[in-house]
A and B are shown apart, each in its own frame.
Chain A
């Protein structure tokens, strides 16, 4: 058979979309979106309100009076404020994040180095990232928070549990962030490295002035992801006795037998993290539109 595209039958092909798809176009499409949203929202509300046990769920989890008491606390009854506890979560996150970015970059830098003198450090860095991405952060918090004080070694053993918590978070997250930076470096086009070295720039100069600036731009979305994750993991520091938002909610629950405190803590965390997630999405969309602009 000859190689030709003209094998079709003489009548023109059918080009109209099926009836159902036509309903989803234009104004009809918008109506479909609205209707679909209303149905789903209605279903969710129905489950909450009408399901057997709906009233119980609302009493135990979404009780406005209890939520308020949990939020402000009641020192006379030994109830810590969930709102005040959140301040602890926030400052622990900020301090840890700064340290994580610094150490993460340092570890990535060492792993990417080429000097023979740095060989043992390269090996140690690789082991570090393997070990601390592998151990659950809960265990790291225990070992640092209860272990270091036991060892009785000078100032390392006399810090507050919040400091140990930050240390544990920093140690763990630096391992992840180091790998994110390293992946970012590998994602920079190889031609950039060739061009920089061809100009006679040293490995260090090339990394510092050409590769890393581009790598960092690329990895900002995954770094923001890790930051959001870090904000939530500050709750684990409660294991060391620190009364932050989730522990305050727990104290409320154990005295009042109502879990509305947990809902308050969740809402507060969302107020912190949702702006960050939206911002990350915005950055990704902006970067995407720039990249695809010429296509």
Chain B
């Protein structure tokens, strides 16, 4: 009798335990889901322009993040992510409004005229003092882009990397990577925009640019061409991750971050983000890794 009661207690106990675990898991899923549902109704109150989701990015913007410099076509990884976020938050895609914000001014403190900015902006502690970041929507590695004729293509051991002349856009994590991780002997050249750095690379004024792997792959294969439209640059390799990730950028203390983070978590857990990354960024994961 006693053993039967013990077994029954055990079964009851474990089923309660399993049940609790299951329901809490479900509840968690349900709490995310309910949070999401709450967001769909509350979001309008937190928007910069009520009724519209105002999203900022730079101009021009490049593949694979956007396509044809038209953020509203939902093509390109970042454009797709924005529309996916809008969808789970119940914002109609016609209510997504795109505005222009130059990269250099996006992460400075002050009032922002948008809900969030998406432009391959990496989280850094310094920037986070001035603005608020969402959780990651992409984990980043830096890579090297150089002309095919440059010695860096074959000679890129850690000590050799220090001897080259780098150039990069001001304020980027690429530039920071050069100064902090590579530490070249010649001071890197600093340009106002990425286009100018690319122009310098093309005219052999600098040896290499450091930029995130997907952008670098596009740059090397499709953007830097000679007059016969042949690619003259190559992606030499990518660096190991240093924990860098991209986040959506918000005005400091924005009340919208919570809902957006919920949306991103949802997209991460239901595999949408992984799917989008495979679709738009998949081919860029096969670049060789080199050490600084």
Residues of A participating in the B interface, judged by any CB pair closer than 8 Å: 75-78, 80, 146, 149-150, 157-158, 161, 238-243, 247, 250-251, 253-257
Contacts of B189 in A (CB 8 A): 161, 241-243
Contact (Cβ within 8 A) A150 B126: no
Contact (Cβ within 8 A) B187 A146: no
CA distance A150 to B127 in the complex (A): 36
The tally of residues in B whose CB lies under 8 Å from a CB in A reads 29
CA distance A78 to B130 in the complex (A): 19
Contact (Cβ within 8 A) A257 B129: yes
Most B CB contacts (10 A, CB to CB) among A75, A149, A253, A257 go to A257
Contact (Cβ within 8 A) B202 A255: no
Contact (Cβ within 8 A) B104 A78: no
CA distance A256 to B127 in the complex (A): 8
Contact (Cβ within 8 A) A256 B200: no
CA distance A221 to B89 in the complex (A): 67
For A147, give the chain B residue with the smallest CB separation: B203
Which residue from A77, A78, A241, A251 sits with its C-beta under 8 Å from B205?
Answer: A241
9 contacts between A and B (CB under 8 A): A75-B179, A77-B180, A149-B205, A150-B202, A157-B203, A158-B204, A161-B189, A251-B171, A254-B108
Once A241-B191, A241-B205, A243-B187 are accepted as A-B contacts, the answer to whether A146 and B200 lie under 8 Å apart by CB is: yes
CA distance A238 to B199 in the complex (A): 15
Residues of B participating in the A interface, judged by any CB pair closer than 8 Å: 104, 108-109, 126-127, 129-130, 167, 170-171, 175-176, 178-180, 187, 189-192, 196-197, 199-200, 202-206
For B193, give the chain A residue with the smallest CB separation: A239
Contacts of B190 in A (CB 8 A): 238, 241, 243, 247, 251
Contacts of B167 in A (CB 8 A): 241
Which residue from A146, A157, A242, A243 sits with its C-beta under 8 Å from B199?
Answer: A146
Contact (Cβ within 8 A) B205 A254: no
Contact (Cβ within 8 A) A251 B203: no
Contacts of A78 in B (CB 8 A): 175-176, 178-180
A65 CB to nearest chain B CB (Å): 16
Contact (Cβ within 8 A) A161 B205: yes
CA distance A243 to B190 in the complex (A): 7
Contacts of A149 in B (CB 8 A): 200, 203-205
Contact (Cβ within 8 A) B129 A254: no
For A148, give the chain B residue with the smallest CB separation: B203
Contacts of B205 in A (CB 8 A): 149, 161, 241
Contacts of A240 in B (CB 8 A): 196, 200
Which residue from A146, A157, A251 sits with its C-beta under 8 Å from B196?
Answer: A146
Contact (Cβ within 8 A) A257 B108: yes
CA distance A256 to B205 in the complex (A): 28
Contact (Cβ within 8 A) A255 B109: no
Most A CB contacts (10 A, CB to CB) among B126, B176, B205 go to B205
Contacts of A158 in B (CB 8 A): 204
Once A146-B200, A149-B203, A241-B167 are accepted as A-B contacts, the answer to whether A255 and B180 lie under 8 Å apart by CB is: no
Contact (Cβ within 8 A) B126 A239: no
